Amino acid sequence: MSDFSEKLITLLGEENLCTDEPLSAHTSFQVGGPADYWVSPENAEQLAGVMALCREESTPWYVFGRGSNVLVSDEGFRGVAISLKKGFSSCRAEGNLVYAGAGAGLGAVAAAALQHGLSGFEFAAGIPGSMGGAMVMNAGAYGGELKDVLTGATVLTPEGELLSLTGEEMELGYRTSCIQKKGYIGLEARISLEPGNPEEIRARMDELADRRKSKQPLEYPSAGSTFKRPSGYFAGKLIEEAGLRGFRVGGAQVSEKHCGFVINRDHATASEILELCRQVQNRVKEHSGVELELEVRLLGFGQ
């Protein structure tokens, strides 16, 4: 066992460390090689300890929520993959406020809001990500976004300091936040909702679920919308107009149902998915002059 592994065990306990963990099991694309270390801190103190150790040892680290917005290389990640599911998935309601840990799935948070008769989070019920990822990217769908309901958050700085931020201090914008800009880790979100009729809340969630199922390729592994929305355009429409509906590279494909989605159609590799994305970017640029920017994060490429 390496000295680094022993230090992680001292921090976390042996039960919270795995080595050579296949990241394909932790991403919605279902691709990616192993991480050298997969750790599951149970509290903020352990998380800060892992980050401090990584700094001391010059070891890269990456925080995983539900793995719904990341593409991991076939070679994997030479570093520490940090899972927040074990210690940061709590969700509770107090009055009109919902407190949701970073590891909580957005569907679970929406279900908790429904259970307490709180309205305003229905838009997020079908987003296949975690609250932590939602705070990083200001997740949104169907006319709603986290910015509309987030009143504050607890974050951990790269130096291990806990901060309580207001919604305004989170600097939420289109697929961005201060977490992303400053390298923070979101630990808990404070969401302010309105009292509502549970039957109406459930009906709205069911309506959005039906819309999502009819318009998105949920039957295939993907990372959701693959490209950011260019100002004044829709990425899916630009891709379709470039003649790329159903375009394939190996097992990776531009969805025939929704061109804004790149899917793992048939045992694709991460390299095939990335190559497909690059070709889509080039073709759209040639056809319309618009540069598409990846919304999906890349991990382990070029290490």
Cα distance between residue 37 and residue 18, in whole Å: 6
Largest separation between any pair of C-alpha atoms in the chain: 56
User: Residue 232 contacts by C-beta under 8 Å, 6 or more apart in sequence?
Assistant: none
Provide the 10 A C-beta neighbour count for residue 18: 16
For 7-44, what is the HEC assignment?
HHHHHHCHHHEEEEEEHHHHCCCCCCCEEEEEECCCCH
- Nearest to residue 250, comparing CAs of 74, 77, 128, 27? 74
- What is the bridge-based pairing of β-strands 261-264 and 252-254? antiparallel
Of these residues, 73, 177, 225, 255, which one is catalytic? 225
Indicate the residue type of 79: G
Specify whether 225 is catalytic: yes
Of these residues, 42, 240, 275, 295, which one is catalytic? 295
Of these residues, 40, 68, 175, 265, which one is catalytic? 175
Q: Can you tell me which residue has the tokens 């609250």?
A: 131
Eight-class DSSP state of 167? T
- The strand pairing partners of 39, in sequence order, are 17, 82
Specify whether 6 is catalytic: no
Cα distance between residue 97 and residue 115, in whole Å: 13
Cα distance between residue 17 and residue 8, in whole Å: 7
Specify whether 175 is catalytic: yes
Cα distance between residue 80 and residue 97, in whole Å: 34
Burial class (CB in 10 A: 0-12, 13-18, 19+), 117: middle
Catalytic residues: 175, 225, 295
